[in-house]
Amino acid sequence: MAANVLVVEDEPAILELIAVNLEQAGFHVLRASEAETALRLIGEALPDLVLIDWMLPGLSGIELVRRLRREERTRALPLILLTARGAEVDKVLGLEAGADDYVTKPFSPRELVARIRAVLRRRRPEVGEEVLEAGGLKLDPAARRVLAEGRVVALGPTEFRLLHFLMVHPERVHSRSQLLDRVWGDHVFVEERTVDVHVRRLRAALEPYGMAGLIQTVRGAGYRFSVQTAQEA
């Protein structure tokens, strides 16, 4: 496989120890001793996975995780946190910030490699997320980006999820409650009319590109994403 792994660790001895072990396991290793360097390296060549020490000079590890999760380009990047032993709080914080796994120090090289492989394996189906294309629209789930005729459409998180869901199930009417269940989540309670408002926002965002008609209202039933124009003489 020969995956690229970036290791971010400020203690030189530990950094080398990890790097050597990973290289021996067949990974290609990049090194960074602080968050800033890590960000630069990630920007230059997107690695397949990043191993981040919790405690870093300057930007802390968890802060780095947050930063990476915010950027669209690095949102799906597999991250593993290195934390001191027994720090239960850290684990929770780390996972909540968006890390995929954590490894407590001290760790055995074998365990570390196993975790890395597991995360890479787990991520695989996510990376293979299909790009959806219909009616001049292109939606890339991995990049969390929508293109209309090649131009980027600015969408809020909810609008994106809504469009995503509609494009996964096109040519099919979804009631407001179905949309609430599947786009908002069945545990959330919001007014059904809220769907209308987000549909409107989504249409407004698509309208400059002339593709507002893709989202159709079916009176008394719900909404539908459809390539078929409803026109007839």
Binding positions for a second copy, rule: CB under 8 A: 55, 60, 62-63, 89, 91-93, 95-98, 101, 122, 124-126, 129, 140-145, 151-154, 156-157, 161, 164-165, 168-169, 171-173, 182, 185-186, 208, 218-221, 224, 226, 228-233
Taking a C-beta distance cutoff of 8 angstroms, is the pair 50, 69 a contact?
no
Q: Which helix (DSSP H) or strand (DSSP E) does residue 142 occupy?
A: none
Q: Which of 43, 31, 91 is nearest to 67 (CA)?
A: 43
Q: Please report whether residue 221 would count as binding DNA according to CB under 7 A.
A: yes
- Interacting residue with DNA among 12, 122, 191, 208 (CB under 7 A): 191
CB of 107 to DNA, least distance (A): 26
Q: How far is CA 123 from CA 48, 68, 116, 118, 173, in A?
A: 10, 16, 11, 8, 32
Of the ranges 53-61, 84-92, 102-110, 194-202, which one interacts with DNA (CB under 7 A)? 194-202
Contacting residue, 2, 106, 219, 231, with DNA by CB under 7 A = 219
- Of 9-68, binders to DNA (CB under 7 A) are none
Q: Burial code of 146-166, b = ≥16 C-beta within 10 A, e = fewer?
A: bbbeeeebebeeebbbbbbeb
Least separation in angstroms between residue 99's CB and a second copy is 10
Pick one of DNA, a second copy, none as the site partner of residue 97 (Cβ within 5 to 8 A by kind): a second copy
Per-residue binding letters, 118-157, with DNA (x by CB under 7 A): ------------------------------------x-xx
Q: Shortest approach of DNA to residue 84 CB, angstroms?
A: 24
Choosing among DNA, a second copy, none, which partner's interface includes residue 106 (Cβ < 5 to 8 Å by kind)? Answer: none
Nearer to a second copy, 28 or 145 (CB): 145
Q: Which is nearer to DNA, 128 or 185 (CB)?
A: 185
Mapping DSSP to helix (H, G, I), strand (E, B) and coil, where does residue 205 land?
Answer: helix
- Alpha carbon distances (Å) from 64 to 10, 38, 114, 134, 202: 14, 9, 23, 36, 31
User: CB neighbours of 214 closer than 8 A, spacing ≥ 6?
Assistant: 134, 135, 137, 206, 225, 226, 227
Q: Residue 4: which of 44, 54, 57, 33 has the closest Cα?
A: 44
Applying CB under 7 A, which residues contact DNA? 70, 154, 156-159, 184, 188-191, 193-194, 196-201, 203, 217-222
